[in-house]
């Protein structure tokens, strides 16, 4: 999300660029500087990276260090990747638009294969069975009945490390078994959704079960064709979004030759940061929550915290996030299902109130729902327990993290930027005094 320190006032922009207001407005109208509404609704703020880019052009070519520093913000590309391209219609996975794959009924398994190998196979309904190691099951059993919805991200973060134990991580590196390791990890994570489902424990995969079906069953949901389509679509659009902070973390770990499990664990640690993956939890507790007939009383929260806290108006998708739109569309379609006994009139009413509210936020407040909001809306429509959205995001995005780890390994260099030390000057030898005893 766009943070306050990534924005500049009009006066700051005019000073940095040494221009007049008319010139600034011309830059904005030409798309050279992007504007964001001020919270008071009367003024505008301007994206710092756009201003810095123009300032660099005015001064001539910037030093390499300055360019590198600016790209490490939410800005320009810094790594070559052939996995995902960001487009106005959402991410494109190896030249296939994610929302097209999702709405076309592609299985998550096929999309994982595409991301990892670059090969499309539309006939992958499920993966071969792989048993979760007994020591991992023993470890997970210690949390039976003890995992709160807010802790599911932390539990999933421990799964990769548990799977790496007893030499399995070293064997993944030595034997080149990343694909098999990724499949085992994803189904283990799906089983962990059972900790926030009605059984409150790990739910093992059944023979012939797809990851979408496994996840639904672990969450305590019925497995119907419509629910399977919805779950597959969610996992597919969640699978990757280029160099998000967690993905970059996975690539940094991969560049040090960490095993696949360690790389995914690093990514999960970044993903569940307060400003990223945990936005689903905040939406569940602060916005799309009971009572649903009081949603209008939360318009102020969207106005004040929509971008910074709740994931509205993602800077990569200023016209709206097509992934969120698709999930909200699917949520609405689920309400028209007549053969799903789990969808009672209360759920239908609440879901329609929620979707109507989000639609009005777009038109009345110019607040476009982001991925987290769309994901929570779909989870609500499916009647899934709180915390499931966080788990789905981690499970789905793990596919992209694995793909980026595999790609980073082929590039064979360490990601190690240097810091620009900015406090005081260099310490001279004369300034260093020996420590006194005591």
Tell me: the pLDDT tens digits for 311-328?
A: 899 888 888 999 999 999
**What does the block give as tokens for 256?**
């040090």
Do the domain assignments include residue 428? no
Do the domain assignments include residue 427? no
Range of the domain at 43: 7-59
Q: Are strands 96-97 and 84-87 parallel, antiparallel or unpaired?
A: unpaired
The answer to whether 230 touches 208, Cβ cutoff 8 Å, is: no
Do 30 and 160 sit in the same domain of this protein? no
pLDDT band at 1 (very low <50, low <70, confident <90, very high): very low
Do the domain assignments include residue 420? no
| HSE (side-chain half, CA atoms, 13 Å) at 295 | 20
Least Cα distance to 357 among 307, 304, 298 occurs for 298
Do 32 and 93 sit in the same domain of this protein? no
Do the domain assignments include residue 406? yes
Tens digit of each residue's pLDDT (9 = 90 or more) over 383-432: 999 999 999 999 999 999 999 999 999 998 899 888 877 765 555 555 54
Per the listing, tokens 């991969």 go with 254
CA dist 332 and 198 (Å) reads 25
Least Cα distance to 87 among 74, 102, 99 occurs for 99
Do 171 and 311 sit in the same domain of this protein? yes
Q: What is the reported pTM?
A: 0.82
Per-residue pLDDT at 318: 82
Do 178 and 297 sit in the same domain of this protein? yes
The answer to whether 118 touches 82, Cβ cutoff 8 Å, is: yes
Do the domain assignments include residue 417? no
Do the domain assignments include residue 425? no
Do 90 and 42 sit in the same domain of this protein? no
Q: What are phi and psi of 74, to 5 degrees?
A: -75, 80
Least Cα distance to 127 among 218, 230, 212, 225 occurs for 212
**pLDDT score of 362 more than 90:** yes
The answer to whether 219 touches 196, Cβ cutoff 8 Å, is: yes
Do 300 and 258 sit in the same domain of this protein? yes
Least Cα distance to 390 among 301, 302, 273, 291 occurs for 273
């Amino acid at each position: 999300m766009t943070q306050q320190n990534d924005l500049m006032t009009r006066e700051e922009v005019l000073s940095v660029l040494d221009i007049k207001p008319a010139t600034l407005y011309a830059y904005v109208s030409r798309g050279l500087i992007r504007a964001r509404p001020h919270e008071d609704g009367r003024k505008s703020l301007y994206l710092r990276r756009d201003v810095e880019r123009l300032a660099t052009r005015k001064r001539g070519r910037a030093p390499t260090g300055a360019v590198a520093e600016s790209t490490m913000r939410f800005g320009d590309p810094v790594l070559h990747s052939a996995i995902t391209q960001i487009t106005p219609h959402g991410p494109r996975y190896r030249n296939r638009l994610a929302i097209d794959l999702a709405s076309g009924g592609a299985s998550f398994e096929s999309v994982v294969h595409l991301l990892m190998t670059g090969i499309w196979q539309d006939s992958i309904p499920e993966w071969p069975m792989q048993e979760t190691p007994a020591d991992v099951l023993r470890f997970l059993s210690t949390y039976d009945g003890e995992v709160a919805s807010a802790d599911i991200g932390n539990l999933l973060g421990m799964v990769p490390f548990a799977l790496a134990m007893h030499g399995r991580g070293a064997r993944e590196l030595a034997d080149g078994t990343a694909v098999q390791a990724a499949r085992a990890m994803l189904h283990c994570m799906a089983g962990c959704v059972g900790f926030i489902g009605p059984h409150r424990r790990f739910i093992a995969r059944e023979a012939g079960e797809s990851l979408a079906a496994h996840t639904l069953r672990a969450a305590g949901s019925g497995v119907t064709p419509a629910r399977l389509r919805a779950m597959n679509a969610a996992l597919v659009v969640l699978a990757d979004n280029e160099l998000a902070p967690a993905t970059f973390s996975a690539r940094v770990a991969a560049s040090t030759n960490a095993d696949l499990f360690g790389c995914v664990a690093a990514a999960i640690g970044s993903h569940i940061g307060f400003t990223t993956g945990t936005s689903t939890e905040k939406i569940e507790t602060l916005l799309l929550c009971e009572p649903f007939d009081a949603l209008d009383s939360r318009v102020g929260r969207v106005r004040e915290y929509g971008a910074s806290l709740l994931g509205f108006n993602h800077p990569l998708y200023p016209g709206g996030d097509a992934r969120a739109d698709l999930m909200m569309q699917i949520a609405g379609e689920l309400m028209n299902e007549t053969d799903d006994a789990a969808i009672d009139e209360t759920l239908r009413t609440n879901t329609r109130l929620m979707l109507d509210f989000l639609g009005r936020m777009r038109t009345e407040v110019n607040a476009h729902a982001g991925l987290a909001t769309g994901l929570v809306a779909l989870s609500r429509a499916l009647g899934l327990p709180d915390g499931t959205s966080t788990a789905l995001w981690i499970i789905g995005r793990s596919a992209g993290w694995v793909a980026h780890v595999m790609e980073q390994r082929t590039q064979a260099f360490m990601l190690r930027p240097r810091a620009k030390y900015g406090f005081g000057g260099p310490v001279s030898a004369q300034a260093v005094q020996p420590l006194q005893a005591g």
